Chain A
């Protein structure tokens, strides 16, 4: 019947296999796996917001969850709070970030390079360290700053309460709000052709006029990118609000979801409904983010680089002092406060007969919960680093270097995770693992945590790999192909060794991410698979601050330590706006 067509079909199949060497299969596998991994959990959230049965029960569809969720004013308030925190933070942090970047990159303040290193350290420093460090200082009753003020005349009545809206803003600003902006904008400011400013001076403008009318407007594209990258993550922030908002009933989007999912009985379907709202926001935001990052900027760089800077004259001293103060607040205060907290009998109580103690350290080091959490953290972070580096180098390579169909689909999938709040992806994975029978045995294992952390870093990792493959140039691989090596052989013997440095860098970033972020795993971990960050949160909530300090010291050491080691080997761990 179909006799005559068979040879033709066979030839077509052969030609497919011949010309695409299994590339199509590889692409299909990658899209399938990544799609399942990234998109399916989100789909599950959407579906289950219309499900009234709880996880792992037979589904009963209905609108009850949506109705329940939105009859409760707390849901709307939490969304509004997220927006409020995010917007206020940007209003405070953006002008400061612009000003500091300008000082660091374009003026002759003292020690600009050293200060830049400290902003980098602040960027690397885990949010929990800064937040917790400042909690020890600004607790309304026991905070060191507040108890010190109480003894002073005139301002003795003042209390800086960190458990407040402005306390949350402050904690955000000092943890990542300012340092991220400085990190993103300083290199861009530095690359600006200084003759653009000099032309303004020659036209009759002073240093300040030049800054306002030339430098800052010239930097507008970078400033907008920096701002929007922060705005996109407005619903992602978690740890700070958990520590500083929940105790007084202030919920934002992510803490509300966790609260709903953790209630007894769990209101996971309401959490899913709340999660679904943000999927709409994400659908708008992800293409925007992608455009921002891939778009070309003003070309402000000229052929010959002139690192000429503005002479501030007498302003040089106050300007240096100002940046030094900011660095002190961002880096030294939290580190000293956390260290102090771990070695003091009671933090801030200097008049106790025995002010300093190593009792808590003895206790902590002998506590199986800490050693268990440390072990978990290292297993999780190392696995995420290794698997992430290998998997994403392959994806980056396929997107940049091959002509396979479906590359743009794969690329789009890889853009999704960065905009998804960690809590949401955690919720999705929770459904995936509990609701899919073959995956159910994995629930409660550390594997689940690893999967969640790898997911969180997809966008950044693939972007780094893509950028490096583009830089690498084609010839090296083509030479290998011409020498007779196939795709995989070239990948293993030429591409991977050349990308070793990038792989290490991506590994380091994933390691740091896994060691400090709680939001994506908080719904997935059990007491056996608890990592350091979750342990620290639990300890803070149960009021064991001195012990929590020690856990935070461990987290800080892991992240900052790894980042500093990587930096000493010349790896540029960080983010860039271009």
Chain B
């Protein structure tokens, strides 16, 4: 497959004073499941809508295959109905005056597909989303999950080049959302359609995507495979948005090509060792104030220091709560309290001295300002 099936270059959109999308560059491969992840107002939906042609950019270009879809500089704008893209809206946007069949057949009708073929393809699309036999129901008489599937069938029925998904799971309840997440991914594998997915839920983004782009304040901050962006966040925003962070302040006391040592502030612990590939690109000099960060689930708890490999941090256990599948521990790190979770296998008593093990390969290093 060629690189850059969908190419976005320098894409910019302003709403009055606000720059909603700020010089975004992005290449999405054919057949890829690509997710734009970010908080509300970060510009991800606006980016998606510009790809779909529902919003006009102020600057930049979008190409699909080798076709230019929009370029204000060249005066090119392809209308949404000419872009050959399917889209699922957050509200599903099913037309209440049509049946399920009519909703799904609508794109084919507009393409003047012959009646028999239209019937066949519509039925196939509904089968694909598991709604065979629902053809004659009014679209709004279905449950949220079913409406979602109809919207998906409508977006896929004409075999579009790209499928745009605008937070399609956010209106579903938690259990249904999980189920749809798995189904959507399986469906995409089967149909092999290129997907541009927009969400504010990092769980959805990490679990479904081939690659994730993290957006903040109109800027694309980091693009990469889910594991990469999670464990090696490029920016403080990506680090904090993707999951919980266990961070400690300190000062670099020693550095060489392979690793560096950080003495923790106000804590009676041996200096932390950080592996070179976790250090990032900032020029780290001895004596610099820094922050060490690690995902809390990468910390293991031990009753004695001897059980630990790598960095060891002695803490006092203040409280523990049983959550069913795991325990939640409140520990005193110096003068501060932190919350960690651990598997339910090791009951620990409050008041007891315990040890946190931090893998040098899992720790990342950050400037103190962040």
Contact = CB atoms under 8 A, between A and B. Distances in A.
A202 B106 CA distance: 11
B97 interface: yes
A204 B160 CA distance: 11
27 contacts: A193-B93, A195-B90, A195-B93, A198-B54, A199-B87, A201-B53, A201-B79, A202-B54, A202-B80, A202-B81, A202-B85, A202-B87, A202-B164, A203-B107, A203-B110, A203-B154, A204-B81, A204-B158, A205-B110, A206-B79, A209-B110, A218-B97, A220-B97, A298-B140, A299-B140, A303-B91, A308-B54
Contacts of B89: 195, 198-199
Nearest to A216: B97
B367 interface: no
Interface residues of A, number: 26
Interface in A180-236: 193, 195-196, 198-206, 209, 213-214, 217-218, 220
A198 B93 contact: yes
A355 interface: no
Contact of B86 (A195, A202, A308): A202
Nearest to B98: A217
A300 interface: yes
Interface in B135-157: 140, 151, 154-155
Interface of A: 193, 195-196, 198-206, 209, 213-214, 217-218, 220, 298-300, 302-304, 308, 311
B93 A204 contact: no
Contacts of A195: 89-91, 93
A204 B110 contact: yes
A195 B155 CA distance: 13
A297 to B, nearest CB: 10
Contacts of A217: 95, 97
A217 to B, nearest CB: 5
Interface residues on B, range: 20 to 34
Nearest to A218: B97
A202 B93 CA distance: 11
Contacts of B94: 199
A220 B98 CA distance: 12
A199 B93 contact: yes
Interface in B153-178: 154-155, 158, 164
Contacts of B96: 218, 298-300
A214 B94 CA distance: 10
Contacts of A206: 79, 81
Contacts of B79: 201, 206
Leading 8 A-B pairs by shortest Cβ distance: A203-B107, A199-B93, A195-B93, A302-B91, A201-B80, A195-B89, A202-B87, A204-B110
Interface string B68-101: 0000000000011111011101110111110000
B32 to A, nearest CB: 20
A202 B89 CA distance: 10
Contacts of B87: 198-199, 202
Contacts of A193: 91, 93
B171 to A, nearest CB: 8
B125 to A, nearest CB: 12
A202 B91 contact: no
A267 to B, nearest CB: 51
Contacts of A303: 91
B110 A202 contact: no
B162 to A, nearest CB: 11
Contacts of A213: 106
Given A205-B81, A308-B54, A200 B106 contact: yes
Given A195-B89, A195-B90, A209-B110, A202 B52 contact: yes
